[in-house]
Amino acid sequence: MPDENQKLKVGIPKETFPNELRTSIIPENISQYAKTGFRVLIESGTGKAAGFTDKQYKDKDAEIVDSRDELFKQADLILQVRGYGTNPDEGKKDLERFRKGQVVVGFFDPLGSPEKVRELAKTGVTAFSIELLPRITRAQSMDALSSMATIGGYKAVLLAAKSLTKMFPMLMTAAGTIAPAHVFVIGAGVAGLQAIATAKRLGGVVKGYDIRPAVKEQVESLGAKFVELELKTEEAETKGGYAKEMDEEFYQKQREMMKSVLKESDVVITTAAVPGKKAPVLITDEMVEGMPRGSVIVDLAAEQGGNCSLTKAGEEIEHKGVTIIGPVNLPASIPQHASQMYARNLLAFAKNMVKDGKIDLEQDDEIIRESMITKDGEVVNQRVLELLGEKSKSEDERSEG
């Protein structure tokens, strides 16, 4: 048995971003970290907003630390929900707490905030951005983007149901038949598919659309009708499985073809986002004005600028009788299950990097290589370096050779 003081220490700081209620570890995970070779340090109050008390963590043999400074000082590995980049103001205060060689994992928005990655690199930490995980089978258990998108898609339908002037299901009543609500989901990724499934469970008549024809079968398997538009979509997806930005001519054609579907929709849920880019505008002012009065748009891309031209992030507005909701940080609105899912993702990620009780940052591992953004005082991720207009050391060495 290794000495307890010799074990790796994983530190879980309290989230400091406004209204961020999630946490990156739940009590039931602690024994699994212990089996992997970790001692678990929890900043006091870390799980409170998600429904987990300090006592619950302590009962599972975690150590409760009152001082944030002390937690950062002791931890070999820091697990966060929002790292610097997704928490630019309060997160900046943690930069001085990091130390060279420390490992930190979380959401960092490296493609949207590359300059923040450069600042983070100066601390000397080895940082992993969970957004950059490769879309490969072995990384599925670590895919926090998909976990959080699942919650976002589910909650989007509930927001729509709350604001809609109709009920979702068809009902046979003594007062006559109530017609079902018509729901149109734009984007059939994880969030879109969950929105489709939730809307169907509530009894809506659901249609789904995606620029990737390959998802037609998935949409139809959930009981929805797939809307097919005659557009060339061969280049709509990157090799890594993420959405690719298309040109304005493509989006203009897409908008024209979508008008007729919107005119028949009571609820529209949009989910189209491109990593590190402004969300494409899929619904114009004119298209909104053509929708039925009392209808609702829930724009899940609000934080990236919105798929609807009228969306205001964090607000619910009305335009010509149509309600447009621009939710932000939806996963935090269901913090207990969001924390449970995210904590499991990070546990799988941590297990992958620990071998024989030590953190092994083997570069031949695609998961580690693709998600690492900083190491030894440098930005090391190729995609981030390109956004910063810099070259990697390996490229410089090749050019010199």
Distance of CA 188 to the CA centre of its chain: 15
Structure confidence by residue, pLDDT tens digits, 257-310: 889 899 999 999 999 988 888 999 999 999 999 999 999 999 999 999 999 999
Q: What is the mean pLDDT of residues 78-106?
A: 97
Q: What pLDDT, on a 0 to 100 scale, did the predictor assign at position 245?
A: 59
pLDDT over 90 at 76, yes or no: yes
Structure confidence by residue, pLDDT tens digits, 253-267: 777 788 989 999 999
Give me the domains of the chain, ranges plus CATH numbers: 4-142+335-400 (3.40.50.720), 146-328 (3.40.50.720)
| pTM of the predicted protein model | 0.90
Q: What pLDDT, on a 0 to 100 scale, did the predictor assign at position 253?
A: 78
| Residues recognised as catalytic | 135, 140, 143, 146, 242
163 bridge partner residues: none
pLDDT over 60 at 398, yes or no: no
Q: What is the mean pLDDT of residues 7-30?
A: 97
Mean of per-residue pLDDT scores for the chain: 92
**pLDDT above 70 as % of the chain:** 92
Structure confidence by residue, pLDDT tens digits, 191-202: 999 999 999 999
- Across 200-214, b (16+ Cβ under 10 Å) vs e yields bebbbbbbbbbbeee
Looking only at the bridges linking them, the beta strands covering 372-375 and 378-379 are: antiparallel
3-state secondary structure of 100: coil
